[in-house]
Chain A
């Protein structure tokens, strides 16, 4: 059985302008010890999905439905006390901006010890020893002295390591990482990704990695979910997605990446911008920007169907298989027609 099974998750926010459907029917599963990548742009709902799983959305004005079964229990219907026992314990999360994610007026030792003592009945001394172990494991130099420093005395990369230490201190089964390296330099990103994959194997945690960077996905993910406008456009094993992408949005994403290893005269660009989640387009949400749009796309919403090459590879697009295969092949050959 999967460690986390998410079924038809929906999260809607009541605002003054109406109901914002931030997540509108997302399903996926995460196996023990594996890494799931959730990729999408701003407004795709990738962050809100994970905040919903953790129960960190504001209580008022949030309407959640669906299931998130973790270790046999549904996180979305759990009482807040029970959920609190799991958070920071079996289920941990790290966030995007390490500069603001740590409390500036408490020493990091204090914050780490707090994380331990919330879930383990140990003395302060024991908690501190455990915190020190983790700081060393994440590569903080001279950890014995730095444990009593304040967050502002650390660089961005070091702070993110502290965040990772804090998340892993209670040996979680699942770590959710919300764009942990977006705010960091590329060399620091490489360090952090290497650290995360190393620790993942040592602790045998599963990871959900949220990112907009397909390169990061290709490097560390086993499975991928591509989100667009609060829905899943395509999902499946990482090899299947990169070798046989089936959704025009995925083609757009792959084609619009400037490459290090190839020279492309003109980047594939996706016209327009992501839609409003108050009033998403009728039919397929991607249709206003899709270069392959057909009549049916404007009226009927495509359902997630198997892509044919792998039983776990699903995609939601009305295009016929032959066209998809052809366009995917063109993309990978680097001769994709420019969408204009």
Chain B
């Protein structure tokens, strides 16, 4: 599929061109083919369908969404593990959207990833020392002795015993393996780390350890994070700004403080409302429970992608005109014609927008 960099036309709202990572109108479609001898594309799974955001140096952008929203696909596109179908990705001032594998090589040092499954993301046949130092060797970053020392330093920094240099992954617990993954990402002094659900597979008590570690490392090494998760609590804890994704689109971006106290998009509201709060007194509070399932990304709804499930759906408008990312105060953007007036709202208030559409 051809990538057309010219398809990132207008200045996307909320996108700071000076950011370390700038993503404009990113799209990734997976074609579905049919045919007897020659395969013809008849449809496409629109996994990511126009996402724009930017991340400044030193900040953490949280990306939250449920299964099927495209956040993992987007992460892989940013890392150029997948080739984008359209859009533009700019890293540290350079357009990396269409670079070949060879051209991309030097950027791989600066852009690293931590994966979700600590059991599957480490090669079980390699020792920990090799796993962490592999990137150093690939990029010729030091002699063997220097690399070994660096690996031991890193193991110490992430809270593991440097003596365990020669052990295999299966000798570690899940939380420890995730630390190895973090050490691996840090080895080459990256500028940006994409964390793809790094704590989802861990127990709650271990989750806290890893989150604290990530925060400490960020301040020590001046790292920038794109933190992807489906757990709103976790994202709140670690992010500066948060983007909410639904069906391949970013439906709301806001600074953390605004998103959790004054969300604008009904989907954000539903997500916040659905999270169980560990406080028995909160039991009485009425929740907004979304009906139905996420639609099929092969055949997404017309206009506003959320309209079939939206409690404030206004017929004739929401299913006809696609909402752009409207700008609200203090860097908050939401793609909704009838944004939430306040928070929390009762179910009735959710269903009845009190004001007219955003102009």
Contact = CB atoms under 8 A, between A and B. Distances in A.
Nearest to B257: A263
Contacts of A267: 208, 211-212, 237
B78 interface: no
Contacts of A273: 173, 175-176, 203, 206
B141 interface: no
Interface stretch (B21-29, B93-101, B281-289, B312-320): B281-289
Contact of B233 (A42, A155, A260): A260
Contact of B271 (A157, A186, A266): A186
Contact of B275 (A186, A212, A264): A186
Contacts of A258: 208, 211, 231, 233-234, 236-237
B274 interface: yes
B278 A242 contact: yes
A194 B289 CA distance: 8
**Chain B at the A interface: SS class:** helix
B347 to A, nearest CB: 12
Contacts of B275: 186, 215, 260
A239 B280 contact: yes
Contact of B66 (A185, A194, A215, A271): A185
> What band does the interface of chain A fall in when counting residues whose beta carbon is under 8 Å from B?
35 or more
Q: Which of B211, B277, B282 has the most CB of A within 10 A?
A: B277
A255 B208 CA distance: 9
B204 A155 contact: no
Interface in A164-185: 185
Contacts of B205: 41, 252-253, 256, 269-270
Contacts of A155: 293-294
A319 B272 CA distance: 38
Interface stretch (A52-60, A78-86, A216-224, A304-312): A216-224
Contacts of A41: 203-205
- Top 10 nearest A-B pairs (CB, nearest first) are A215-B276, A256-B208, A190-B274, A258-B237, A185-B66, A270-B205, A267-B208, A269-B208, A258-B233, A41-B203
8 contacts: A186-B271, A190-B276, A190-B287, A194-B287, A212-B203, A214-B204, A215-B275, A219-B283
